[in-house]
Amino acid sequence: METVVENDLYKITFTNRGAQVKSWILKKFDNDAQNGPLDLVNAAAAQKYGYPLSLLSYDQALNGKLSSALYVASNEGQVTAPSSITFEYADQDVVVHKTFHFDRTYVLGVESSVVYKGVETFAAPAWPAGFGDQLTAASYAAARIDYHNDASTERTALVFPNFISRLAVKGISGGKTIRGPFEWAGPGDQYFTAIFIPDDPNSAAFITLRNQVQVARDPQKPNDPEKVNVDVIGAAVGDFHGATAERVYVGPKELAALEAVKVPAITNGDPDLRGTVDFGWWGLISRPLFLWLKWTYKHVYPNWGWAIVIQTLIITIALLPLRITQMKSMLKMQRIAPQIKSIQEKYKKYSMRDPRKAAMNEEVAALYKKEGVNPAGGCLPLLIQFPFLIAYYRMLGIALDLRHAHWLWISDLSARDPYFVLPVLMVISMFAMQRMTPQAGMDPAQQKMMNWMMPLMMGFLFFNFAAGLNLYYAETNLISMAQQAIMNRTKLGQEMREIMEKRARKKEK
């Protein structure tokens, strides 16, 4: 017997065998492998390791009975949320009660209890076997278990100020129990999550699950006999003392939906589930960048690709003063380069360990002070830009909104460019930028290596990166090229060119 619960967001199919979920379709999200909405149940893994909302205890024999018994359902057929369903089972050894409450959101309430041989037993509701959007080895590797626990010692990443503990695949031990208190916990992948929110955080506990399945080596050929082993993770969360009462959020890692789920905080942190979206160490920058990008999409141009183009243009123009500062600092360094070389020649006969070598550094420092030169001035603007680059990389890597987002010839901005136009454009633009940017004083061999090796290395790194990220970097380079072309025509640029040409002539002689 089956019971189907439906609202505007999902369609959940329960089977009375095990009182568990055999299909959990999200209506607003497409399946990468086939046409139609996404089913969050990983059918292949669930068949081997358990279906969503099954119960998990420490007794394997009991687990088998809990997942195979035929329960009596309070409702059968089609049910429209808001509503509730109760499943019950009893024999001479075990009495099981499971109730699910549904509303119009991605959250449902769960109540469960198991009495085994007269004793109330810990048997936690579980999401045991990954997600239905995991189709490749890379997507399985992106899975993890997140939980909010300020006192945890299992922390693999610390996201200030939320204190979110993130267990990556390799750090998860199958069958390990982690005790509360914690406000929420559950498995997730790049774009979707199943988060359990216990009513009593202090008595909550969860069991980490890690197993293996096989997937096709080439995701484009799912029937290819050549397979690779991948880890599939899950978790079971319940009240360690027996009967469980909790909520479960099953859905997208979408900030608006996650922030709508209120969680009573017992530690320092957000009063909702926004922490499941991992903006990384640069979250103070990447999260505002994403909110700005989303605002641009909604209010300026309703296409994510063009929203990236507009935002990148504004960021690159805003950082132009740093490029000018960098160029001025480089020019000052080049003006005093002959004097520095003269000082170095005077002390080159002394070894690095010779105390008299310190006098050289003092003379160089005095020269810097006299001429008003900051030796780090050429690097500082680049260091200031670096957090923005990393934050943008992180933001585009976790932005669910870019999944299946179209732009010109690209059908999915979260996947690689199918024709590799953007990576190639990025390499060409980087090469052009290296040629255009004054590099006075650099050794010719070193300059040649930078001109060729840096673009090729970046092209290799970005070859399979998301098209949205390549769009950002390629556009940044193109705008920077235009800026550099203008700067090269200024008095500042012409002076740097003259220094370069003068030194090149000296070296030829």
Partners of 129 in the beta sheet?
A: none
Q: Is the pLDDT of residue 410 over 90?
A: yes
Q: Is the residue at 329 inside a domain?
A: no
Q: Which domain holds residue 313?
A: 287-322+377-508
Q: What is the distance between the alpha carbons of residues 122 and 241, in angstroms, rounded to a whole number? A: 6
Q: Is the residue at 66 inside a domain?
A: yes
Is residue 310 located within the same domain as residue 421?
yes
Q: Is the pLDDT of residue 505 over 70?
A: no
What pLDDT, on the 0 to 100 scale, is given for residue 156? 36
Residues 472-487: what's their mean pLDDT? 86
369-375 contacts at long range (C-beta below 8 A, 24 or more positions apart): 371/332, 371/335, 371/336, 372/332, 373/329, 373/332, 373/333, 373/336, 374/329, 375/333
Q: Rounded to a whole number, what is the distance in angstroms from the first to the last CA of the chain?
A: 91
* Maximum Cα–Cα distance across the chain: 100
Q: Is the pLDDT of residue 268 over 60?
A: no
Q: Is the residue at 79 inside a domain?
A: yes
- Tally of residues, the chain: 509
Is residue 7 located within the same domain as residue 121?
yes
Q: What is the distance between the alpha carbons of residues 316 and 140, in angstroms, rounded to a whole number? A: 35
Is residue 457 located within the same domain as residue 342?
no
What pLDDT, on the 0 to 100 scale, is given for residue 162? 46
Q: Is the pLDDT of residue 281 over 70?
A: yes
Residues 136-156: what's their mean pLDDT? 72
Is residue 251 located within the same domain as residue 296?
no
Q: Kindly report, residue by residue over 351-380, the tens digit of the pLDDT.
A: 777 777 777 888 888 887 777 777 666 566
Q: Is the residue at 332 inside a domain?
A: no
Q: What is the distance between the alpha carbons of residues 45 and 89, in angstroms, rounded to a whole number? A: 26
Q: Which of 371, 397, 428 is the C-terminal boundary of a domain?
A: 371
Q: Cβ(43)–Cβ(49) under 8 Å?
A: no
Residues 214-234: what's their mean pLDDT? 81
Q: Is the residue at 462 inside a domain?
A: yes
Q: How confident is the model at residue 155 (pLDDT cuts 50, 70, 90)?
A: very low
Q: Kindly report, residue by residue over 191-201, the tens digit of the pLDDT.
A: 999 999 999 99
What pLDDT, on the 0 to 100 scale, is given for residue 446? 59
Q: Which residues are within 8 A (CB) of 252 and not within 5 positions of it... i.e. 6 or more apart? A: 26, 28, 29, 106, 191, 192, 400
What pLDDT, on the 0 to 100 scale, is given for residue 61? 93
Q: Report which of residues 167 and 438 the model is more confident about.
A: 167
Give the angle subtended at the CA of 157 by the CAs of 153 and 159, to the nearest 5°: 110
What pLDDT, on the 0 to 100 scale, is given for residue 151? 43
**In which residue are the tokens 């890379």 written?**
138
CA-closest candidate to residue 430, choices 501, 484, 494: 484
Q: How confident is the model at residue 382 (pLDDT cuts 50, 70, 90)?
A: low
Is residue 20 located within the same domain as residue 130?
yes
Is residue 52 located within the same domain as residue 146?
yes
Q: What percent of the chain has pLDDT over 90?
A: 45
Q: What percent of the chain has pLDDT over 70?
A: 86
Residue 344 exposure: Cα atoms within 13 Å on the Cβ side: 6
Q: Is the pLDDT of residue 266 over 70?
A: no
Number of folded domains that form the chain: 3
Please tell me the pTM assigned to this model.
Answer: 0.84
Q: How confident is the model at residue 291 (pLDDT cuts 50, 70, 90)?
A: very high
SS3 state of residue 292? helix
Is residue 29 located within the same domain as residue 140?
yes
Is residue 314 located within the same domain as residue 201?
no
Q: What is the distance between the alpha carbons of residues 54 and 236, in angstroms, rounded to a whole number? A: 9
**In which residue are the tokens 């000296």 written?**
506
Q: Report which of residues 327 and 167 the model is more confident about.
A: 167
Q: What is the distance between the alpha carbons of residues 41 and 421, in angstroms, rounded to a whole number? A: 35
Q: What is the distance between the alpha carbons of residues 114 and 63, in angstroms, rounded to a whole number? A: 11
Q: Kindly report, residue by residue over 306-361, the tens digit of the pLDDT.
A: 999 999 999 989 888 877 777 777 777 777 777 877 887 877 777 777 777 777 88
Q: How confident is the model at residue 74 (pLDDT cuts 50, 70, 90)?
A: very high
Is residue 65 located within the same domain as residue 116?
yes
Q: Cβ(128)–Cβ(49) under 8 Å?
A: yes
Is residue 314 located within the same domain as residue 167?
no
Q: Is the pLDDT of residue 506 over 70?
A: no
Phi/psi at 100 (5° precision) = -125, 130
Phi/psi at 195 (5° precision) = -105, 125
Q: Is the residue at 331 inside a domain?
A: no
The number of angstroms, rounded, from the C-alpha of 38 to the middle of its chain's C-alpha atoms is: 20
Is residue 73 located within the same domain as residue 193?
yes
Q: Residue 255 is which amino acid?
A: L
**Crossing angle, helix 283-299 and helix 304-318, to 10 degrees?**
120
Mean pLDDT over the full length of the chain: 84
Q: Is the residue at 191 inside a domain?
A: yes
**In which residue are the tokens 């059918």 written?**
43
What pLDDT, on the 0 to 100 scale, is given for residue 152? 39
**Crossing angle, helix 467-488 and helix 304-318, to 10 degrees?**
30
Is residue 145 located within the same domain as residue 21?
yes
CATH code of residue 87: 2.70.98.90
Q: What is the distance between the alpha carbons of residues 461 and 401, in angstroms, rounded to a whole number? A: 24
Phi/psi at 310 (5° precision) = -65, -45
Q: Is the pLDDT of residue 158 over 50?
A: no
Q: Which residues are within 8 A (CB) of 284 and not within 5 positions of it... i.e. 6 or more apart? A: none
Residues 470-480: what's their mean pLDDT? 89
Question: Residue 287 corresponds to which tokens in the numbers above?
Answer: 């999260």
Q: Kindly report, residue by residue over 24-51, the tens digit of the pLDDT.
A: 999 999 886 566 899 999 999 999 999 9
Q: Is the residue at 470 inside a domain?
A: yes
